[in-house]
Amino acid sequence: MSLNQGVDPRTGQPVGDPIPDTGPEQVRSAVRRAADCAPRLAGMPYADRGRLLNALATALRQHDDELIELADRETALGRPRLPGELARTAAQLDMFADVLRDGAFCEAVIDRPDANAVPPHGDLRRMLVPLGPVAVFAASNFPFAFSVLGGDTASALAAGCPVVVKAHPGHPGLSQRVADLATEALAEAGAPDGTLSVVHGYEAGPALVTDPSIRAVGFTGSTGGGRALYDLAVGRDDPIPFYGELGSVNPVVVTEAAVEARGREIAEGLAGSFRLGTGQFCTKPGVVLVPADSGFDAQVADVVRPSEPTPMLTARMRDAYQAGLAAFTDVPGVRAVVAAEPLDADGHDVLPAVLAVDAETFAAHADVLAGECFGPVTVLVEYRDRDSLHRALRAVPGSLTGSLHAEPGDPAAADVVATLRDGVGRIIVNGWPTGVAVTWSQHHGGPWPATTDPLHTSVGATAIRRFLRPVSYQDVPDELLPAELQDANPLGLPRRVDGALT
Amino acid sequence: MSLNQGVDPRTGQPVGDPIPDTGPEQVRSAVRRAADCAPRLAGMPYADRGRLLNALATALRQHDDELIELADRETALGRPRLPGELARTAAQLDMFADVLRDGAFCEAVIDRPDANAVPPHGDLRRMLVPLGPVAVFAASNFPFAFSVLGGDTASALAAGCPVVVKAHPGHPGLSQRVADLATEALAEAGAPDGTLSVVHGYEAGPALVTDPSIRAVGFTGSTGGGRALYDLAVGRDDPIPFYGELGSVNPVVVTEAAVEARGREIAEGLAGSFRLGTGQFCTKPGVVLVPADSGFDAQVADVVRPSEPTPMLTARMRDAYQAGLAAFTDVPGVRAVVAAEPLDADGHDVLPAVLAVDAETFAAHADVLAGECFGPVTVLVEYRDRDSLHRALRAVPGSLTGSLHAEPGDPAAADVVATLRDGVGRIIVNGWPTGVAVTWSQHHGGPWPATTDPLHTSVGATAIRRFLRPVSYQDVPDELLPAELQDANPLGLPRRVDGALT
């Protein structure tokens, strides 16, 4: 057994008390408690379940100063980022309470008997029900929004599934404090014991994914770590759904017309986006396709060069960033627009880097250059014509987002949007991918390797669907039907009846 | 390379011309044609895509006599089964055309900019788009409804995904004839070349699942075969969704009150259901939990004993049935209510069997007795009280369906429905699981091992969702948006706008 010790990224020094690994027996016990309470949580009226989520949001808001201070010591993400992230995390919990109140999420569908159908059928009614206990793997880079009470937890609880969170070792103290506050808030709001637990330590991860009572997994993290856990989930005797949000390169295309009209403004936007949070965003723009000889590289260099060092979350991530930079610059034909030598410092500080390469070289070395390098680096890919642009764009692996900077009536725009759609989950025009709205329409997902399952999202209202499965009721008398499907529609749900939306 | 030779199950003799295996280069070519036409199919207006489906339905109906004759020679499923199945398959194609006309399947959601949201957001719009080329594995037991133009193909084409079908070797001649008719009908209706292909031979299966251009797999068949292909799909460098409908035991619970009130009628219903199609249904009731000492076994024996031999689809399935029966009867405590000795015949004939065992023995030997035995056998599990009933019921693995026979106000009913819901995808009261309606509300799925993914169905309107993935558009100008998301709603789709369903 080892200890999970928070470290201050600004100094490299330990902060807070170390938290011991959760042993295998304690992991099993957390899952057992989750399984035991699953029927009660599943049976709670939607409004009551919504109140659990609201209570968690309130707990975050009531302890915001304390939690932000804790988070800052372990992550150095500072202000205004951390207060914004806490507010967003609380709002996300409230949003899922709204989703429960709305009720459409359960997808109630009723088909009355029809003797003339081919084949004829009786009374058939369908709705979604909770999958059962869910394991959630917290991310390093969003200590609130993708951690203990982040989107995976919020959507799983909303679905009626108890959650066991594997805390991220980058912020163990914050994770444990949030867990304690959540446990208290849930108990006060009437949640059954076992609704939410938090476990620590590397070995707790595989133990969770292979526990027979765990019915699904939500994961945010690296491609390597995610793939290893995915392989465990799908390799079980009874495979379970694994929703992994992994690496993402997030290509950006800048058209000739856009560079001409507002190159400097786009360069400033890019500089802001790829350096945000020291480049530690799954939506960081990692590859920017720009017209060759347009002078855009110099405009970016002008904006980025005055950068101050900023700390990465962990020493390991700092080292991985420097190694990734070195791998990029080792490719013949890659030039440093803004170089970033490793710093000799106590903490985890790094400098931002901007690289450039022609589109042909990029496409030929996409195995390296189109890989994700977590940290403040972006690669300018210089294209000469439509063909080289699209070839380079198609060499970028599946991503969470793809962006286009274009002018009104830009002749290049439609084709780029079409190519982007094949490879990404969110298309942005004249904006930047960092900053993920929490809405009904959000999709935070994408083709492999952005995620392990392109059908699902980890942000937005439809994230709940990952933890629900359909059940149909055939000729079941009204008194044995769940309220969602009863004739009188006591919950007032939007339903499809005999083919028509009501 | 080997040959795919149709065999008449009634005689064991070859019928029709043998069809050669599709070689690896031809498989690759079929997938390449699918990939090449995918953008055109995806870009077709929904109404036009609907007309492709209607054209396929019409082709089936126009050639019904010929196809039914072909199917009967290779499957011996006879009349009225085969005409009914063809009609159902055509109706299913038409239903997906209706789903396209309805338009809700694309899940259009629009959130207008909101500066007061936490966090504030711009214009964000979400819809579902096609995944890309799909591989479909046809089943043996439904030569129309789960074969070349079955539910997987219909839903994938409706989604806008080209399809390559791996034909089942049990009816190669029918598969090829349907493929030829479909190719002709699709071409006439304006589908791009490559929209639908059919391949033959054992080796074509793994080749399809591992082809880089295949984006999802639909499969209906055995647990062993499905698991092997599932492992290939999830083991790819880029894992793809695999929707397998595998084995299912389909437990049935008969309450004491129901046996008392109408034991004979229930026995007749059971006898009809488990022998239907020589027991070769994924929805065959394989385990029937009945009150001990209720005389229900004698009632079933009375009805089943006069059975005539009927042929199974293939010699291999006949042998597997006899081996499965032997494994069941080898368990100490299992008694034959109706025994079924292997027949010495030229064709694939078998006799139906009814076994009985007490609930405790069943639960203790569930690894054998709660396994699927494909063919006309059902196991009566005799329970003494509520606890032994529920323990035995929980020992049944995940199933497509679970049924309850109960009386009005039956005190046992609610608990049984609750236990069934944990383990099955469709709950039936006072009916039988065979016969699967094709409706908006149908769910033909269930927890492992009934399927590889409990979130999805292979029958009913929502089967289309397996082949669609979400894309969000952020701040994309109206002229670059797909029609589904444009302000004017030119397609007249049901949409959610700013949180409200419209």
Judged by a CB distance cut-off of 8 A, whether residue A454 touches chain B is yes
At A484 the pLDDT is: 98
CA-nearest of B397, B439, B349 to B246 is: B397
Residue B108: pLDDT over 70: yes
CA–CA separation, A2 and B374 (whole Å)? 51
At B331 the pLDDT is: 98
A245 is catalytic: yes
CA–CA separation, A326 and A350 (whole Å)? 14
Judged by a CB distance cut-off of 8 A, whether residue A492 touches chain B is no
Task: Name every chain A residue with its beta carbon within 8 A of the beta carbon of B474.
Answer: 426-429, 431, 437
CA–CA separation, B123 and B110 (whole Å)? 8
B414 with A102: Cβ contact below 8 A: no
Provide the greatest CA pair distance for chain B: 79
At B345 the pLDDT is: 75
CA of residue A151 relative to chain centroid, distance: 8
Looking at domain B251-429, does it have CATH number 3.40.309.10?
Answer: yes
A118 with B88: Cβ contact below 8 A: yes
* A residues 39..98 contacting B (CB < 8 A): 39, 84, 87-88, 90-91, 98
Chain A nearest CA to B103, separation (Å): 11
Contact predicate B159/B100, CB 8 Å: no
CA–CA separation, A93 and A149 (whole Å)? 8
What amino acid occupies position A464? I
- ipTM exceeding cut-off 0.90 for this assembly: yes
Cβ partners under 8 Å of residue A35, min gap 6: A132, A133, A162, A194, A213
Determine the average pLDDT of the residues in B290-307: 96
Residue B317: pLDDT over 90: yes
At A1 the pLDDT is: 56
A421 with B119: Cβ contact below 8 A: no
At A77 the pLDDT is: 97
Q: Where are the beta strands (DSSP E) in B367-458?
A: 377-383, 399-405, 424-429
Average pLDDT across chain B, whole number: 97
Cβ-in-10-Å burial (0-12, 13-18, 19+) of A385 comes to exposed
pLDDT bucket at B1, cuts 50 / 70 / 90: low
For tokens 């005797």, the residue is A237
Identify the residue with better confidence: B397 or B3. Answer: B397
| Facing B119 at nearest CB: one of A437, A473, A501 | A437
Cβ-in-10-Å burial (0-12, 13-18, 19+) of B129 comes to middle
pLDDT tens, position by position, A391-414: 999 999 999 999 999 999 999 999
Cβ partners under 8 Å of residue A306, min gap 6: none
The pair of structure tokens assigned to A29 is: 């016990």
DSSP string, B265-306: HHHHHHHHHHHGGGG--TT---EEEEETTSSHHHHHHHHHTT
What amino acid occupies position A428? I
A417 with B480: Cβ contact below 8 A: yes
pLDDT tens, position by position, B340-382: 988 987 899 999 999 999 999 999 999 999 999 999 999 999 9
pLDDT bucket at B21, cuts 50 / 70 / 90: very high
User: Would you name the residues of B annotated as active-site residues?
Assistant: 245, 282
Specify the 3-state DSSP secondary structure of A364.
helix
3-state secondary structure A216-280: EEEEECCHHHHHHHHHHHHHCCCCCCEEEECCCCCEEEECHHHHHHHHHHHHHHHHHHHHHHHHC
pLDDT bucket at B306, cuts 50 / 70 / 90: confident
Specify the 3-state DSSP secondary structure of B310.
strand
At B338 the pLDDT is: 97
At A97 the pLDDT is: 98
Judged by a CB distance cut-off of 8 A, whether residue B502 touches chain A is no
Tell me the CATH architecture of domain B26-246+453-469.
3-Layer(aba) Sandwich (3.40)
The pair of structure tokens assigned to A150 is: 């982040």
| CATH (one of 1.20.120.1200, 3.30.70.2740, 3.40.605.10, 3.30.420.310) for A14-246+453-469 | 3.40.605.10
Report which DSSP code applies to B125. E
Average pLDDT across chain A, whole number: 97
| Facing B442 at nearest CB: one of A91, A124, A466 | A124
CA-nearest of B23, B28, B370, B355 to B194 is: B28
At A358 the pLDDT is: 98
Judged by a CB distance cut-off of 8 A, whether residue A115 touches chain B is no
- Which stretches of chain A drop beneath a pLDDT of 70? 1
pLDDT tens, position by position, B144-181: 999 999 999 999 999 999 999 999 999 999 999 999 99
Task: Name every chain A residue with its beta carbon within 8 A of the beta carbon of B412.
Answer: none
Domain regions of chain A by residue span: 14-246+453-469, 251-429
Determine the average pLDDT of the residues in B28-35: 98
| Facing A471 at nearest CB: one of B90, B421, B470 | B421
